[in-house]
């Protein structure tokens, strides 16, 4: 029936006012808020309280704060940052295991692949091929760092092709966290990498042929194999 009356904390009011201005587009990404000492007067509050509000907005990913003269709070374009961090928390706290994540990936990337195959333009395919060739070069040069980065870019680019920001955010969230985890715990495996890479070749071919089902199945299998390898390794080399 009723919802709890919001307790009046001054900094919350400030947060809401600024947040609404950002959401409604009155404040555009890239523009700058006035200096703290000015804002404090505008909201008729103290600097400490105002700074608590800025801290919240910063944590929400709505602003970014820079130091020094000509520094200040800059309006940020909304990105997947908070979601990535939330997911990282869930993983690090053990709430979400890598198996959970893998199961989600299999289903989700399968769906993403179907949509991407439906919607890929010739330009998209070209971009994927470009990324594929770049990854192949890095592989042959044994440049693992760049190889991994490019591999991640291929995954997120497939998300881009869906033209659906929800899938894009989800894909970015998953892969950022996989990457984090991967860098921290797993050594590079040359065979696995080649296998992975070749999956992308098959995916691109399926996309060219417009074969949603094939593309989807390849990526699901790709994720499944990746996960099996990962589990095998983490079991052999437990962290603690």
Partner DNA sequence: CAACTTCAAATGGTTAAACCATTGACTCTA
Partner DNA sequence: TAGAGTCAATGGTTTAACCATTTGAAGTTG
Dihedral angle sign, alpha carbons of residues 201, 138, 186, 170 = negative
Q: Determine if 69 is a binding residue for DNA (CB under 7 A).
A: yes
Looking up tokens 């609404």 gives: 20
Distances (CA, A) of 23 to 34, 66, 99: 18, 21, 36
> Residue 183 binds which entry of its own copies, DNA, none, with Cβ cut-offs from 5 to 8 Å by kind?
none
Quick check: helix, strand or coil at residue 16?
A: helix
Region binding its own copies by CB under 8 A among candidate stretches 37-45, 99-107, 132-140, 184-192: 99-107
**Strands (E) located in the chain:** 63-66, 72-75
Residue 89 CB, shortest distance to DNA, in Å, is 22
For residue 2, report the phi and psi dihedrals to the nearest 5 degrees.
Answer: -105, 155
Q: Determine if 111 is a binding residue for its own copies (CB under 8 A).
A: yes
> Residue 18 binds which entry of its own copies, DNA, none, with Cβ cut-offs from 5 to 8 Å by kind?
none
What mask of x and - would describe binding to DNA in positions 49 to 68, judged by CB under 7 A?
x-xx-x----------xxxx
Q: Determine if 69 is a binding residue for its own copies (CB under 8 A).
A: no
Q: Determine if 86 is a binding residue for DNA (CB under 7 A).
A: no
| Subset of 127-186 contacting its own copies (CB under 8 A) | 145, 164-167, 169-170
Cα–Cα distance for residue pair 65/73, rounded to 1 Å: 4
> Residue 35 binds which entry of its own copies, DNA, none, with Cβ cut-offs from 5 to 8 Å by kind?
DNA
> Residue 167 binds which entry of its own copies, DNA, none, with Cβ cut-offs from 5 to 8 Å by kind?
its own copies
Q: Determine if 45 is a binding residue for its own copies (CB under 8 A).
A: no
Please enumerate in sequence order all residues whose Cβ is within 8 A of that of 235, keeping only pairs 6 or more positions apart, or say none: none
Quick check: helix, strand or coil at residue 187?
A: coil
Please enumerate in sequence order all residues whose Cβ is within 8 A of that of 163, keeping only pairs 6 or more positions apart, or say none: 119
**Strands (E) located in 126-220:** none
C-beta of 71 vs 165, nearer to DNA: 71
Q: Determine if 5 is a binding residue for its own copies (CB under 8 A).
A: no
Q: Other CB atoms closer than 10 Å to residue 71's CB: what's the count?
A: 11
Instruction: Please report, as ranges, the residues that interact with its own copies according to CB under 8 A.
Output: 1, 7, 11, 22-23, 25, 48, 51-52, 55-56, 59-62, 67, 78, 82-83, 85-86, 89-90, 92-93, 95-96, 100-101, 103-104, 107-108, 110-111, 114-115, 145, 164-167, 169-170
């Amino acid at each position: 029936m009723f919802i709890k009356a919001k307790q009046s904390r001054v900094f919350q009011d400030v947060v809401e006012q600024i947040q609404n201005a950002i959401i409604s587009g009155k404040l555009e990404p890239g523009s700058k808020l006035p200096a703290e000492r000015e804002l404090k007067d505008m909201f008729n509050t103290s600097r400490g309280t105002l700074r608590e509000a800025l801290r919240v907005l910063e944590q929400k990913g709505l602003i970014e704060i820079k130091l020094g003269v000509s520094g200040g709070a800059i309006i940020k374009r909304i990105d997947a940052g908070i979601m990535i961090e939330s997911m990282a928390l869930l993983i690090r706290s053990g709430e979400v295991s890598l198996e959970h994540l893998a199961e989600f990936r299999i289903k989700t990337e399968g769906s993403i692949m179907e949509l991407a195959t439906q919607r890929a333009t010739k330009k998209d395919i070209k971009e994927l091929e470009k990324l594929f060739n770049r990854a192949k070069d890095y592989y042959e040069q044994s440049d693992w760092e760049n190889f991994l980065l490019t591999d991640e870019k291929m995954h997120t680019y497939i998300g881009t092709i869906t033209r659906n920001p929800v899938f894009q955010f989800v894909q970015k969230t998953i892969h950022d966290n996989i990457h984090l985890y991967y860098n921290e715990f797993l050594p590079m495996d040359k065979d696995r990498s080649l296998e992975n890479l070749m999956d992308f070749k098959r995916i691109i071919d399926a996309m060219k042929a417009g074969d949603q089902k094939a593309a989807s199945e390849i990526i699901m299998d790709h994720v499944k194999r990746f996960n099996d390898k990962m589990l095998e390794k983490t079991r052999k080399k437990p962290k603690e």
